[in-house]
Amino acid sequence: MSATDTRADTGHFRLGMLFAVASAFTFGMSGPLAKALMEAGWSPTAAVTARLAGGALAMAAFAGFIKPDWIHEALAHRKTVIAYGLIPIAGAQLCYYNAVAHLSVGVALLLEYTAPILVVGWLWATTKRAPGRLTLAGVALAIAGIMLVLDVFAGARINSVGVSWGLAAAVCAACYFMMSDAATADGDGLHPITLAAGGLVVGAVTVAAIGASGVMPLTFSTHHTVVAGLTLPWYIPVIALALIPTAIAYTLGIFGVARLRPRFASLVGLAEVLFAVLIAWAFLGEAITATQALGGAVVLLGLTLARLGDRADAVLEAGWPDVPPAQPHAEPAIGSN
């Protein structure tokens, strides 16, 4: 591998990590913001509807400025866009909130964040190439770390209906990583901006229709909300919810998956839980325990092992930064590190 190729791979990986971590951080704000609305009298379906509708409007405006032909491209790829809006966006939101209605929040989140296991298993089954031991160990450690962060054994509530909804949310989350891979950042195929904008429009219409039909309660409120100790008008968290953990988060996530590939990106997505805990501490005053801090360290160790395992995996395109593959019994290539 030449020095130019190595630098290109390094930049590709680092930019993908930047997008993925930023996406996880912005996604992590959804819980505290939505909780502030629900404490002010909003139903979960109403909060999701406002989130997706506002995000769809913001993304449509942004896409119209950045990529004026996004509607034409979305129509040309309508099957992918509709599926993306129905499953990773509307499906994940509705399944997760239904899981929370029957389970403790920690257990519901843990079930949803088994998505990396589903991604690894799907790629294993479809490519017929087993992931390395380091990758499997990294996945196991990351999931164990999430269990500690969420402290699922404290006050856990379990029932079959809630578990079914939680596992359905995990499937939808896994589809998010796999379907986001359909878009690339260099313009080949479906552009990430088009996928995010079109998917949010489909998701918003779907959730609003479900709420309007009466299948799930749709209750709004104009009462003031409390965020980070501040009393704010209801529309402030609604706007923040639509822009930050929705329009911005989905866009950054699609760009990140396009560079990191689904398996590793799904593991990086676990950082959303860590950020959610930190943001809940900052916004809502929820304390961080020593167990949660330990869980965060375990998650990071799991991510490191998983990435090391990915070095030798030909399924992934991104190479480990700054470490070109060894070439025993051969003279170093001119220009290589």
The radius of gyration computed from the CA coordinates of the chain, to the nearest angstrom, equals 20
For residue 186, is pLDDT > 60? no
For range 248-271, the mean pLDDT: 80
For residue 336, is pLDDT > 60? no
For range 293-318, the mean pLDDT: 65
Q: For residue 4, count CB atoms less than 10 angstroms from its CB and return exposed for 0-12, middle for 13-18, buried for 19 or more.
A: exposed
For 266, the token pair is: 């799904």
Which pLDDT band holds residue 320 (cuts at 50, 70, 90)? very low
For residue 275, is pLDDT > 80? no
Q: For residue 311, count CB atoms less than 10 angstroms from its CB and return exposed for 0-12, middle for 13-18, buried for 19 or more.
A: middle
Across the strands, what pairs with 230? 227
pLDDT at 104: 64
What proportion of the chain, given as a percentage, has pLDDT over 90? 21
Check residue 269 and report its DSSP letter. T
Average of per-residue pLDDT values in the chain: 78
Separation of alpha carbons 308 and 322, rounded Å: 13
For residue 33, is pLDDT > 60? yes
Q: Which of 69-78, 250-259, 265-274 has the lowest mean pLDDT?
A: 265-274
Separation of alpha carbons 196 and 25, rounded Å: 17
Helix (H, G, I), strand (E, B) or coil at 158: coil
Report which listed range, 3-12, 140-149, 234-243, is most confident. Answer: 234-243
Tally of CB atoms within 10 A around 236: 15
Residues 6+ apart with CB under 8 A from 197: 56, 59, 60, 62, 63, 70, 74
Higher pLDDT pick, 286 / 38: 38
Prediction pTM value: 0.75
Q: What is the DSSP annotation of 6-43?
A: HHHHHHHHHHHHHHHHHHHHHHTTHHHHHHHHHHTT--
Chain position carrying tokens 């029957």:
102
Q: Which spans in the chain are helix H? A: 3-27, 30-39, 44-66, 70-76, 78-84, 92-102, 105-112, 115-127, 133-150, 160-180, 192-212, 235-242, 249-260, 262-268, 271-284, 290-310
Give the angle subtended at the CA of 50 by the CAs of 242 and 48, to the nearest 5°: 95
**What are the boundaries of each domain within the chain?**
3-310
Q: Which of 123-132, 191-200, 212-221 has the lowest mean pLDDT?
A: 123-132
Residues 6+ apart with CB under 8 A from 214: none
Q: Which of 51-65, 68-82, 169-183, 288-302 has the lowest mean pLDDT?
A: 288-302
Helix (H, G, I), strand (E, B) or coil at 82: helix
pLDDT at 110: 72
Give yes or no for a contact between 89 and 213, defined as CB atoms under 8 angstroms apart. no
Tally of CB atoms within 10 A around 329: 4
Tally of CB atoms within 10 A around 306: 27
For residue 12, is pLDDT > 60? yes
Length of the chain (residues): 337
Higher pLDDT pick, 188 / 264: 264
Separation of alpha carbons 72 and 276, rounded Å: 36
Separation of alpha carbons 108 and 96, rounded Å: 7
